[in-house]
């Protein structure tokens, strides 16, 4: 794990092994269904190729994660900022770090809600094709 300060208030860390309670609390704060599957979520983040977190003291307030084949494709799995920390540039810092880290990859991919499209266009993302899903949200896995 490595970490650095952008300013006096926040600490940015590259880490996969995040306290599960902090992780769930962050996902619950934005109302995402993923928070209902605590063990799946924890393991998904732990097994991601890239995870950057934002901390305000001991509180997890932001996260971006991605999976990659290492050469051509990198897929943002999550980008979220706790609602009371939104609109102050934390998402922008995380997105810029992601873009820089995966510069030269043929495809940087994400899925998003339609109302977030304009936000991601600022980072060079464009709609191209469609995304298809085969969802299976039966139950959480055992720890």
50-97 residue pLDDT tens:
999 999 999 999 999 999 999 999 999 999 999 999 999 999 999 999
Residue 7, pLDDT score = 59
Structure-block tokens of residue 129: 């094709």
Residue 5 confidence class, pLDDT cut points 50, 70, 90: low
Residue 59, pLDDT score = 97
| Under 8 Å between Cβ of 18 and 60 | yes
Note the pTM of the prediction, 2 decimals.
0.89
* Strands 50-56 and 59-68, bridge-based pairing: antiparallel
In the numeric block, the tokens 């307030």 are attached to: 61
Residue 81, pLDDT score = 98
């Amino acid at each position: 794990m490595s970490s650095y300060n952008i300013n006096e208030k926040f600490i940015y860390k590259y880490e996969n092994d995040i306290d599960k309670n902090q992780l769930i609390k962050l996902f619950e704060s934005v109302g995402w269904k993923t928070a209902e599957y605590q063990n799946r979520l924890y393991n998904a983040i732990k097994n991601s190729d890239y995870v950057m977190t934002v901390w305000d003291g001991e509180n997890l307030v932001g996260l971006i994660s991605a999976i990659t084949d290492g050469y051509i494709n990198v897929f943002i799995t999550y980008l979220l900022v706790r609602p009371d920390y939104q609109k102050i540039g934390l998402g922008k810092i995380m997105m810029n770090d992601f873009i820089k880290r995966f510069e030269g990859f043929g495809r940087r991919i994400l899925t998003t809600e339609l109302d977030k499209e304009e936000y991601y266009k600022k980072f060079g993302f464009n709609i191209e094709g469609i995304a298809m899903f085969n969802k299976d949200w039966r139950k959480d896995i055992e720890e």
